């Protein structure tokens, strides 16, 4: 079994971005600038945004971190988004999801300019991605593609089963894996919580990408021998033995499934770190105006 080490790959990618930023600075070019907005005090979201800010510092990006109270109105949040849209120094903007229930995630993400939408959630970027046009690909699916490519995992002609159909991961992942590209050229089946005979379908997968949002949902009896297993899920569960009081697990029961898989991502240390790298890569592209000119 080969561990698909997101920590190692993320270090490689961050080093590559760092070197490119040094070159930009040396030539007097524009330093990439990422802004992040977080609403409320969700622990997992705060940790994730803090990691994004630290990663910006690590590679030499500028970053802006805006915190709004959970009670903020939709207008107050939209005003922040519009101000950043109009700020020529800021290249990329992310609004951390999930948002409090009184705020429309669709309205907020659709207000972000497509050229600053480095999360790849705007309909313009989703549509361009589906058509095979240059776009900002959602950070998590892009991170999965990086893992497959950098570990040279064959995908052409393979049966790829995507478990989960969210607009953020499952749906774009299924499109990308079916594209006439590498990674891609797979025969793709997309499954979800309402799929009949789910176990029979996942057991057919040469590549199983799991983003169903349920802790340790995928067990050994759902996986074919020597399958490649990509676990996108991440969950905090209470653990009194840990200093933090919790530990992180994925959507896959790791110990069971690792014994059968040819390749598998760990949680933590897998896809999550690659997601941040993809976000920084998109911001670098935005600063260079590679997608929208």
Task: Note the pLDDT of residue 235.
Answer: 87
Task: Note the pLDDT of residue 30.
Answer: 95
Q: pLDDT band at 193, cuts 50/70/90?
A: confident
Active site residue 52: yes
Pairing mode, if any, of strands 207-210 and 62-68?
unpaired
Calpha distance 165→174 (Å, rounded): 9
> pLDDT digit string (tens) for 134-179?
999 999 999 999 999 999 999 999 999 999 999 999 999 999 999 9
Examine the pLDDT at 25 and tell me if it is beyond 80.
yes
Question: Encoding tokens for residue 219?
Answer: 């067990």
Q: Which of 80, 91, 96, 231 is catalytic?
A: 96
Question: Encoding tokens for residue 20?
Answer: 């490119």
- Cβ atoms of 92 and 35 closer than 8 Å: yes
Task: Note the pLDDT of residue 199.
Answer: 96
Nearest CA to 205 among 180, 232, 177, 182? 177
Q: Which of 91, 119, 206, 231 is catalytic?
A: 119
Task: Note the pLDDT of residue 51.
Answer: 84
Active site residue 96: yes
Average pLDDT, integer, range 194-212: 97
DSSP-based three-state secondary structure for 205: coil
Higher-scoring residue by pLDDT: 42, 84: 84
Task: Note the pLDDT of residue 57.
Answer: 93
Alpha helices in 86-216 (DSSP H): 105-111, 123-131, 139-150, 170-178, 198-202
Angle (CA) 195 209 176, round 5°: 100
Task: Note the pLDDT of residue 158.
Answer: 98
Phi, psi torsion values for 172, nearest 5 degrees: -65, -35
> pLDDT digit string (tens) for 247-264?
899 999 999 999 999 999
Angle (CA) 154 155 161, round 5°: 130
Calpha distance 145→160 (Å, rounded): 13
Active site residue 260: no
Angle (CA) 279 284 290, round 5°: 115
**pTM for this predicted structure:** 0.93
Task: Note the pLDDT of residue 236.
Answer: 83
- Cβ atoms of 183 and 135 closer than 8 Å: no
Per-residue DSSP letter, 223: S
Question: Encoding tokens for residue 174?
Answer: 């299924």
Q: Which of 52, 116, 158, 253 is catalytic?
A: 52
Q: Give the chain's mean pLDDT.
A: 94
> pLDDT digit string (tens) for 55-77?
999 999 999 999 999 999 999 99
Q: Report all structural domains of the chain as residue ranges with CATH numbers, in order of start.
A: 29-115 (3.40.50.10860), 139-273 (3.40.50.720)
């Amino acid at each position: 079994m080969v561990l698909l080490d997101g920590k190692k790959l993320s270090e490689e990618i961050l080093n590559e971005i760092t070197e490119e930023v040094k070159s930009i600075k040396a030539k007097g070019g524009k330093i990439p600038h990422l802004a992040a907005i977080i609403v409320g005090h969700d622990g997992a979201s705060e940790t994730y945004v803090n990691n994004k800010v630290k990663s910006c510092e690590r590679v030499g990006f500028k970053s802006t971190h805006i915190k709004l109270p959970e009670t903020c109105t939709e207008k107050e949040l939209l005003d922040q988004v519009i101000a950043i849209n109009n700020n020529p120094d800021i290249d990329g903007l992310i609004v951390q999801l999930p948002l409090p229930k009184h705020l429309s995630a669709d309205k907020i993400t659709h207000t972000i300019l497509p050229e600053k939408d480095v999360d790849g959630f705007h309909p313009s970027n989703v549509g361009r991605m589906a058509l095979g046009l240059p776009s900002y690909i959602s950070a998590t699916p892009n991170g999965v593609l990086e893992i497959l490519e950098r570990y040279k995992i064959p995908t052409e002609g393979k049966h790829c089963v995507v478990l989960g159909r969210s607009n953020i991961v499952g749906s774009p992942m299924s499109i990308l894996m079916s594209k006439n590209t590498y990674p891609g050229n797979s025969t793709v089946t997309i499954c979800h919580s309402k799929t009949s005979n789910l176990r029979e379908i996942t057991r057919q997968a040469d590549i199983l990408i799991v983003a169903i949002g349920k802790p340790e949902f995928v067990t050994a009896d759902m996986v074919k021998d020597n399958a490649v297993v990509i676990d996108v899920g991440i969950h905090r569960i209470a653990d009194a033995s840990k200093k933090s009081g919790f530990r992180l697990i994925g959507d896959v029961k790791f110990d069971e499934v690792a014994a059968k898989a040819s390749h598998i991502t760990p949680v933590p240390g897998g896809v999550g770190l690659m997601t941040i790298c993809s976000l920084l890569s998109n911001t670098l592209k935005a600063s260079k105006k590679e997608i929208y000119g």
